[in-house]
Amino acid sequence: MQRLTHQLDGRPDRFGRFCRGLGIVGAVAALAAPALAPAADVQRRPNIVVILGDDLGFADIGSFGSEINTPNLDNLAKEGVRFANFYTHASCSPTRSILLSGVDTHLNGLGNMSEWTAPNQRGAVGYEGYLNHRVATLPQLLKDSGYHTYMVGKWHLGKQPDRIPRARGFERDFSLLDGAGSYWDMWNFTGASPKSTFTEDGRYLTQLPKDYYATKTYTDKMIGFIDANHGDGKPFFAYVAHQAPHDPYHLPKEWRSRHVGEYDKGWDAIRQERLKRQIELGIMPAGTQLAERMYFLPDPVVLAPASRAILGKKMELYAGMVENLDYHVGRLIDHLKKIGEYDNTIFIVFGDNGAEGTDLFKMIAGSPGTLNYLFAASHWSQTNPNAWGDPGSYVGYGPMWAQVSMTPFSQYKGWTAEGGIRNALIVSGPVVQRPKGSVNHGLMHVGDIMPTLLSIAGASYPKRSAEGQELPALMGKPWNDVLAGRAESPRTERDYLAWEIFGNRAVRQGEWKLRWQFKPYGTGEWELYNVATDPGERMNVAAQNPEKVQALLAVWDGYAKANNVILPTRGPFETLYDQLPVRVPVDEGFPPLIYQRQFVPPADMLAEPKP
């Protein structure tokens, strides 16, 4: 810093050009950072590739216990480290906002998803529904420090010109601005917003490229971005925010039939098989119990074979989505190897939240006679199972398979149970000094990624924004010591994590987790779990530990006050209690009535009726 200041003394015009070129945030970051390294050192800074799966579950990757074939992701796990205690948020845009800002959702603009902003949250700071300008972004800071910054895939953080990827620090982009959509074309889901919005390099697209298929096209575009500047000596940050495997399950025909009949055995059996592999892999400790099957789901054993087959087909399609995603990740990896960049590239791979168990299509389409219902009937009318995967079809796999994706946890996306907020994480590349293929159980969070990558890139987090506003502090803890093998966790027992979305909330400190969820998924009261010994959250021990409940409540209250948490007056689950049956315990084999087989008498005691 002294060296840079000395060089600029007496040269105000040069300093002015320097600041205008970088932007105020970049200038502050540059001045706050150590003296810039020589060009040769800059070249040695690693490339960074963040691969984000949309609704990809904790147990959907082979190296986390899945039967789904994911050789490319598994190879990254073999060459790097897997993290089994990593948390995101419970929904997509909130997680993405934390990833790209390093700041809590209630401060960065995604205190609630834009689609569900409650009446009492409208107009409140931190609830704008897009990534606000009170935060600095990871791509902007990396760009200011000398990185190329590229993005492909789902954005979901704003659509206005000052909110799109180009405006928030990405040099090149090909982005779906909406939260979901067709993989084949621009069709969206509602009558009021029938077309999805895309940008490419900061311009709004009027049509998509020929032969467009989301997962393939995103990969093609990213390879093109990397090649366009390859050889100029600058490292790159590539944010690969895949749409897959978010519903609708659209995929080419050759990817639809790779697991025919495999899932007809039902969700309970697949969960048990995945948990067994997780224990063998060291992902879960021996003795781990599966979370209770969702009480409103049937035991697949009592279903007719045809019902199991049609429900199994949905999971077959989902597995195909994950395998297709892995294939295109492999294409990117192979290209980086071909151009000599793979060995100098850090990969960070994870899913953005728990798997999707809610019927989004039903929620969006609404009631007969409404505009959205008619729109769905006309534009999403391919309901024959033989057409599933084609344009115009909409398939999601439901809560039964979402629980499979989140093995061994309870519940799924949208909820603050472990199944909504815990996910698989893979990190590989030159910064990882832990044993290859190892598993770590340290307490990690998506908010840690920004400080970690800024540190790796030699960039600093500024104190003020481009508009001169003081920036909120970063919420995360850098992973440098963990990745280097000098520590097992970036957190102490006193550090905590906290969540709130749709009114569901939770706080974790050490082994303990306190959560509050709406009925019937929750009790409408604070529940306490030791998630180290009970990751399936089967045993609510709040009554036995009143002092721990009070201690964690104090932590929660401090978090809520510091982060401007406004609990919503309305939400997506407000009628759920009335729609679902009364919650009852799930006990295997109960009631015996429906499991009893036909009685067969001993053969030597059979007789015809007497005349």
Domain spans, the chain: 33-459
- Architecture of 33-459 per CATH? 3-Layer(aba) Sandwich (3.40)
Phi/psi for 149 (5° steps) reads -130, 120
**Where in the sequence numbering do the catalytic residues fall?**
92, 156
Cα 595-598-604 angle, rounded to 5 deg: 145
pTM of full prediction above 0.85: yes
Q: Which residues of the chain have pLDDT under 70?
A: 1-43
Give the tokens for residue 179. Answer: 């939260």
pLDDT confidence of residue 28: 35
Instruction: Please state, in angstroms and as integers, the Cα–Cα distance from residue 481 to each residue in 138, 478, 577, following that order.
Output: 21, 8, 45
- Burial (0-12, 13-18, 19+ Cβ within 10 Å), 34: exposed
Phi/psi for 379 (5° steps) reads -105, -10
Can you state the angle between helices 214-229 and 305-338, rounded to 10 degrees? 10
Secondary structure (3-state) at 154: strand
Is the bond into 71 cis (omega within 30 degrees of 0)? no
pLDDT confidence of residue 245: 98
pLDDT confidence of residue 10: 33
